[in-house]
C-alpha cells in the first residue's frame, strides 16, 4: 500500500485502509474500489490523502500504532464528555472510561513494532476535535515513554492530554472555526479554554492534579509569553511541556476548513526550530528520536530524480528512511528499486508529493 493524494487517485483504485468518520464508523472499507462519486464525496468531506493498494508495495504493511478498536473507543469517550458538558452544562466526566481508554492506548503502544511510521490517522474536516485529542494523546504518550515514565505517570499524562481541550466547550464554534483573523476579544475567549478545562477536570476528584495541569498549561511557552499565566521554563509542569509539543505538532499536520495541513516534515522542522523558545529542549530531543520526518507511505522525490514512497524507517535516523522508487522522473520503472538513505548518503529527499 502507499499514500496517494486524492487528486492523483485513479478511478478503480482499491482502498488499503478503511476511511472512518468522527464517530469511528467506517465510511468506506478496505478493499472498496474507488469510483468518481466516492472520490468526489471524500474530497468534499476534506479527505485529501488515501491509502491505496499497489502491487509494487504488496510486501509493505502499514501497522497503526494503536488499534482501530482502541482509537474508536477514544473518539467515543471524548465525544461523550464533550456532549455532556455542552448539552447539560455539567462537569461530570466518566473518569473510569477515560482511564481505561488511556490504559488501552498505552498497552497498544507498548506492543507496537513501528511507532515511528505513523502516529496519526487520515481525517476529514468535521473530525478535528476528536482526532486531535486522540492523536495528541498518542504522541504525548510516545514522548512520555521516551522519557522513561512509569505506567502511573503515563496514565496521568494520557488522561490529561485526552481531556486537554475540553475547555473549548466554553467557546462558541463560530470563533473556533473562524476563517479570518480573530479579534483581541475573540482570542481572549479562546485563551479561557485552558482555565475552564482545568476547572472541569479538578471538579472530578478521580483525576490527579497533574492531569489537570495539562489542560491548564499546554499553551505555555518555554521562554514565556504563553497563556494563561505566562510561565517560563521548568515553572511549567513537565506534563504540560510534553503536551505543548504534541498539541502543536498534531495541530499543524491537521487539515482545517480555513487552512491546509502542513506536511509532517514541515511540522517536524517547526517543532525542531522552536526548541528552547516555544518548547522544552529536552522534550524536543525526545521528539526527534521518536517521530518520523517522512511517515511510512509518504510519496517523495529523491535528489537523483527518482520518485517513490517511504517503505521503512531507520531508527535513530528520522530523516533517512528507506524509499522504494517506481518512477524516474515521469517514466515508470520496469522494476522497483529500494534506496536505503542511511546507506546512500549522497542521495536525499528533495520533495514530498503523494502521487
Q: What cell numbers appear for 71 in the block?
A: 482509537
pLDDT computed for residue 113 by the predictor: 60
The CA radius of gyration of the chain, in Å to the nearest whole number, is 20
- The torsion region of residue 148 among left (phi > 0), alpha (psi -120 to 50) and beta comes to left
Q: How far apart are CA 15 and CA 29, in angstroms?
A: 7
With CA atoms as reference, report the closest residue to 222 among 287, 282, 140, 278. Answer: 278
Residues 129 and 193: their CA atoms lie apart, in Å, by 14
Contact 230, 237 (CB under 8 A): no
pLDDT means per 10 residues, the chain with 355 residues, are: 88 89 78 94 86 90 82 89 77 88 94 65 62 92 95 97 92 83 90 94 91 97 97 98 96 78 90 97 94 90 96 88 95 96 96 89
Q: Rounded to two decimals, what is the model's pTM?
A: 0.92
Which residue in this structure is represented by grid cell 468518481?
36
Helices (H), the chain: 36-45, 68-88, 95-110, 128-146, 151-162, 173-176, 184-202, 209-217, 238-252, 264-273, 281-290
What pLDDT, on a 0 to 100 scale, did the predictor assign at position 112? 76
Q: How high is the pLDDT of residue 269? A: 95
The C-alpha atoms of residue 142 and residue 119 are separated, in whole angstroms, by: 9
Q: What pLDDT is attached to residue 72?
A: 86
Domains of the chain in start order, with CATH, are 2-53 (3.90.105.10), 68-290 (1.10.3210.10), 299-352 (no CATH)
d(CA 207, CA 81): 14
Q: Which residues of 245-263 are buried (b: 16+ CB within 10 A; e: fewer)?
A: bbbbbbbbbbbeeeeebbb
Q: What is the DSSP string of 73-131?
A: HHHHHHHHHHHHHHHH------HHHHHHHHHHHHHHHHT-S-TTT-SS----GGGHHHH
Instruction: Name the grid cell of 307.
Output: 520518485
245 upstream amide cis, omega within 30 of 0: no
**Do residues 268 and 290 make contact, with C-beta atoms less than 8 angstroms apart?**
no
Residue 176's pLDDT is 82
Burial class (CB in 10 A: 0-12, 13-18, 19+), 90: exposed
Amino acid at each position: 500500500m502507499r499514500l496517494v493524494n486524492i487528486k492523483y487517485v485513479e478511478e478503480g483504485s482499491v482502498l488499503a485502509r478503511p476511511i472512518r468518520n468522527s464517530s469511528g464508523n467506517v465510511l468506506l472499507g478496505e478493499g472498496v474500489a474507488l469510483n468518481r462519486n466516492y472520490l468526489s464525496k471524500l474530497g468534499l468531506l476534506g479527505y485529501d490523502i488515501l491509502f491505496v493498494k499497489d502491487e509494487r508495495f504488496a510486501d509493505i504493511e502499514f501497522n497503526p500504532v494503536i488499534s482501530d478498536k482502541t482509537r474508536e473507543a477514544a473518539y467515543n469517550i471524548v465525544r461523550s464528555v464533550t456532549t455532556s458538558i455542552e448539552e447539560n452544562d455539567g462537569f461530570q466526566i466518566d473518569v473510569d472510561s477515560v482511564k481505561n481508554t488511556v490504559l488501552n492506548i498505552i498497552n497498544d503502544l507498548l506492543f507496537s513494532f513501528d511507532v515511528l511510521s505513523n502516529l496519526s490517522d487520515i481525517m476529514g474536516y468535521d473530525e478535528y476535535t476528536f482526532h486531535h485529542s486522540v492523536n495528541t494523546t498518542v504522541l504525548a504518550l510516545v514522548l512520555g515513554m521516551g522519557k522513561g515514565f512509569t505506567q502511573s505517570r503515563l496514565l496521568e499524562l494520557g488522561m490529561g492530554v485526552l481531556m486537554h481541550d475540553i475547555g473549548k466547550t466554553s467557546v462558541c464554534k463560530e470563533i473556533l472555526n473562524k476563517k479570518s483573523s480573530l479579534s483581541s476579544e475573540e482570542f481572549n475567549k479562546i485563551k479561557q479554554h485552558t482555565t475552564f478545562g482545568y476547572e472541569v477536570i479538578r471538579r472530578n476528584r478521580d483525576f490527579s492534579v497533574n492531569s489537570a495541569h495539562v489542560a491548564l498549561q499546554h499553551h505555555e511557552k518555554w521562554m514565556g509569553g504563553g497563556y494563561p499565566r505566562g510561565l517560563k521554563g521548568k515553572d511549567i509542569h513537565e506534563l504540560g511541556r510534553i503536551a505543548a509539543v504534541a498539541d502543536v505538532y498534531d495541530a499543524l499536520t491537521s487539515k482545517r476548513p480555513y487552512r491546509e495541513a502542513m506536511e509532517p516534515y514541515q511540522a517536524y522542522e517547526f517543532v525542531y526550530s522552536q526548541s528552547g523558545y516555544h518548547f522544552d529542549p529536552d522534550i524536543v530531543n525526545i521528539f526527534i528520536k521518536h517521530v518520523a520526518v517522512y511517515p511510512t507511505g509518504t510519496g517523495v522525490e529523491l535528489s537523483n530524480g527518482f520518485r517513490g514512497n517511504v517503505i521503512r524507517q531507520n531508527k535513530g535516523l528520522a530523516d533517512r528512511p528507506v524509499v522504494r522508487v517506481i518512477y524516474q522522473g515521469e517514466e515508470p520503472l520496469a522494476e522497483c528499486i529500494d534506496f536505503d538513505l542511511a546507506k546512500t548518503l549522497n542521495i536525499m529527499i528533495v520533495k514530498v508529493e503523494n502521487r
